[in-house]
Chains A and B, each alone.
Chain A
Amino acid sequence: MSTAAETTATPAPRAAGPKVALFATCFNDTMWPETLKATVRLLERLGCEVEFPMEQTCCGQMQTNTGYGKDAAPLVRRFVDVFDGYDAVVAPSGSCVGSVREQHATIAREVGDDALLDRVEETAPRTYELSEFLVDMLGVTDVGAYFPHRVTYHPTCHSLRMLHVGDKPLSLLRAVKGIDLVELPGAEECCGFGGTFAMKNADVSIAMGADKARQITSTDAEVVVMSDNSCLAHVGGLLSRHRSGVRRLHLAEILASTEEEQL
């Protein structure tokens, strides 16, 4: 941590940062607007010009992963239409970005649309999960955040194994002022959400989630943080049912929190 960062909680905004399109993802847009507001606040604080194209909807992950890939084709078309021409598309969701980067091309191939495939191959590599964008594109790990609480982090599977974000989220968290970051035992094991898996194989999903919840409470953390609200909703739902008192927060919300504007 630099001396400057210690004295000023918020780094100076860049004069002319990149123009960023926020991909809200349908789930966050509908259920977790606070995560998106935090993402906007954070990116703007770091000097980005954030736009929210109103015509956006969904990446089609639910259809694709449940076996309705062809039904996701209109959503893929909409995605490339809406996000064409931006320097970067950023979403606070590992699994939705995973869907864009790893599955949109497969869908375009499946429906035999070569023109769509070309456009996917142009848009998909410019679509980033939040921590990737911060570390790789903006080149920052200390985003000037302040969060004086005991926190544990679960790296969601699609961030970890589809996007290979590695320890980028952790390096961002480590730089947060005041944070007491504790390691989560069995962190790399899936929480059991898995989209429609949570419904189709509810018993196994709950058994996995219960183990994850137990490991989270074993750390005595006040807050569990992830970069996917879907996994958080699943694990958070279990923690809440057991009245564990552990708070669930998205990575964006912690990174957006500052001394002036505390979460």
Chain B
Amino acid sequence: MGMPAFPEAAEEALGKTQQRHNLHHATHTIRAKRAGVVGELDDWQALRTAGADAKDEALAHLADYLEQLEENLTANGATVHWARDAEEANRIVTALVKAKETDEVVKVKSMTTQEIELNEALREAGIDAWETDLAELIVQLGGDLPSHILVPAIHRNRSEIREIFLREMGQVGRAAPEDLTDDPARLAEAARLHLREKFLRAKVGISGANFAIADTGSLVVVESEGNGRMCLTLPETLISVVGIEKVLPSWDDLAPMLQLLPRSSTGERMNPYTSTWTGTHDGDGPQEVHVVLLDNGRTHVLGDSIGRQALRCIRCSACLNVCPVYERTGGHAYGSVYPGPIGAVLNPQLRGTASEVDKSLPYASTLCGACYEVCPVKINIPELLVKLRGAVADQERPSAESAAMAAAGWVLSDPRRLGAAQKAANSVGRLLGDRTIRTVPGMGAWTSARDVPTPPTESFRQWWARERGTQ
């Protein structure tokens, strides 16, 4: 709410030269890495199909698989909670933390908890939620917003991170060493020491899940740093907030996902850490496990036969890394924790298209198709964008644009009208001769940086009629 629409936010982002440089470098590096490891596999397209099919099967019978998941989780000693929306999920989690009589929790990086703004809700209840993923830590300490699904601090470079660590770490825990440099190993070490005392102290850990396996009642988190595994194993209580679309029918369905996800996201062949947990186990890991299954608009998306495919998303962020629009604007311009192409189709579906930003997101794409090409679960993002543009256009009718489209449609639906419009262009062409057109009234956005092609003195249609006759 209150976020500027995409074109304005993008204009501001384009002015940040350091950020643009960081983004260009990071997206191109990860893009090349992904292409390399995907290229190694002969069966990549078959894997994509397997991934898409597994998600589609789960979505087609979502209620059944969720019930199966709940049953197996409960049988294994976990407590399952259902949350219709963000407010309900936050209330459930806050009450669970308060019951443990603690004022802090450690967190595994989780998009779902960011979507519902859990940290803010906990803060209001007097509870500090510490992000333990290195990039999330940078964002949190910097008082910043994440700008990428996988690499939330992608817009920051090393020297900016060093400054944030030096300035902020001491305010909330173990301070960074005074001689900290911007060497990645030194920065990681400072974060490790800062986080270690939080891991050892926290009584409650909060996570999301990359996948939830219905037939075994298992939750899965994949990560690169091992911070997640610390949160999943050290605290006495674990609360996992899981979007209902994360369910997979069976353990077998996890196999393609564990190949698709790391290659698409970090350009690695497998994740350094893959953690799975199934309820509770005496004397091993958290002794109290709660799973909050979250809807928050998902069943609404499920009801749309074309829009539904967006729920296949496994949050790999390949579409962000390859998107030329994201590359230049960064994630903040999208006004959501889900930026880039997937954000442009997911947010307007989850939140509706009432706000200025959600209304503008379906247009934040050239429809170049690069996102669809890399999507490991074959979400046809361009098709979804076009469909959502239709929804926005219908909602805005009557508008100047709909009138212009109707007028253009009227001209273009009849060859004689098109011919008449061409003659008008031809007379402009004759008037201008070889001169370059630099400004045209009403075409400000175009002519601000681009010369306009001079219309020809004769359309092709006229030439053909003159040279070859009309039939």
Contact = CB atoms under 8 A, between A and B. Distances in A.
A238 B450 contact: yes
Given A62-B408, A74-B413, A240-B436, A29 B460 contact: yes
Interface string B128-165: 00000000000000000000000000000000000000
Given A37-B463, A203-B10, A208-B366, 8 more contacts: A66-B405, A67-B389, A67-B390, A78-B413, A162-B369, A202-B7, A203-B11, A236-B451
A28 interface: yes
Given A199-B446, A203-B14, A240-B451, A52 B468 contact: yes
B446 A197 contact: no
Contacts of B461: 24, 29, 52, 54
A32 B22 CA distance: 40
A169 interface: no
Interface in B1-33: 6-7, 10-11, 14
Nearest to A50: B468
B413 A75 contact: yes
Given A56-B415, A208-B328, A68 B405 contact: yes
Interface in B237-280: none
A103 B449 CA distance: 31
A52 B459 CA distance: 13
Closest 7 CB pairs of A and B: A194-B366, A237-B450, A67-B389, A67-B393, A161-B369, A202-B445, A190-B368
B421 A30 contact: yes
B425 A30 contact: yes
A170 interface: no
A157 B409 contact: no
Contact of B415 (A55, A189, A190): A55
B401 A66 contact: yes
Interface string A236-256: 111011000000000000000
A205 B209 CA distance: 37
Contacts of A194: 365-368
A56 B415 CA distance: 6
Interface string B427-471: 000000000101000000110111111011011110111001011
A161 B373 contact: yes
Interface string A82-104: 00000000000000000000010
Chain A interface extent, by class = 35 or more
B234 to A, nearest CB: 44
Interface string B346-381: 000000000000000011111111101100000000
B449 A204 contact: no
Interface string A167-180: 00000000000000
B389 A65 contact: yes
Contacts of A195: 366-367
B385 to A, nearest CB: 9
A190 to B, nearest CB: 4
Contacts of B383: 106
From B367, B418, B450, B464, residue with most partner A Cβ within 10 Å = B450
From B366, B394, B415, residue with most partner A Cβ within 10 Å = B366
Interface string A41-70: 000000000001011111010111111111
27 contacts: A28-B460, A32-B456, A54-B470, A54-B471, A65-B389, A66-B393, A66-B405, A68-B393, A68-B402, A69-B386, A75-B409, A78-B413, A161-B369, A161-B370, A162-B369, A190-B366, A194-B365, A199-B445, A201-B6, A201-B325, A203-B11, A204-B7, A204-B14, A204-B329, A205-B366, A207-B328, A236-B453
Nearest to A158: B369
Main secondary structure on chain A at its contact with chain B?
helix
Contacts of A29: 418, 422, 459-461
Given A63-B408, A237-B453, A238-B449, A33 B458 contact: yes
A34 interface: yes
From A32, A56, A198, A205, residue with most partner B Cβ within 10 Å = A205
A8 B401 CA distance: 53
Contacts of B364: 201, 204
A9 interface: no
Contact of B450 (A57, A68, A74, A241): A241
A116 interface: no
A192 B366 contact: yes
A190 B370 contact: yes
Contacts of B366: 157, 190, 192-195, 197, 205, 208
A69 B465 CA distance: 31
A30 B10 contact: no
A204 B15 CA distance: 11
Contacts of A206: 448-450
Contacts of A241: 438, 449-451
Contacts of B463: 33, 37
Given A33-B460, A36-B460, A57-B414, A192 B389 contact: no
A57 B415 CA distance: 6
A158 B2 CA distance: 35
B392 interface: yes
A31 interface: yes
Interface in B68-127: none
A202 B389 CA distance: 18
B460 A24 contact: yes
Given A33-B458, A65-B386, A201-B363, A190 B324 contact: yes
A203 B372 CA distance: 24
Given A75-B413, A195-B367, A206-B449, A201 B7 contact: yes
A25 B346 CA distance: 34
A71 B404 CA distance: 12
Nearest to A24: B460
B252 to A, nearest CB: 32
Nearest to B450: A237
B463 to A, nearest CB: 6
A209 to B, nearest CB: 7
Contacts of B390: 67-70, 110
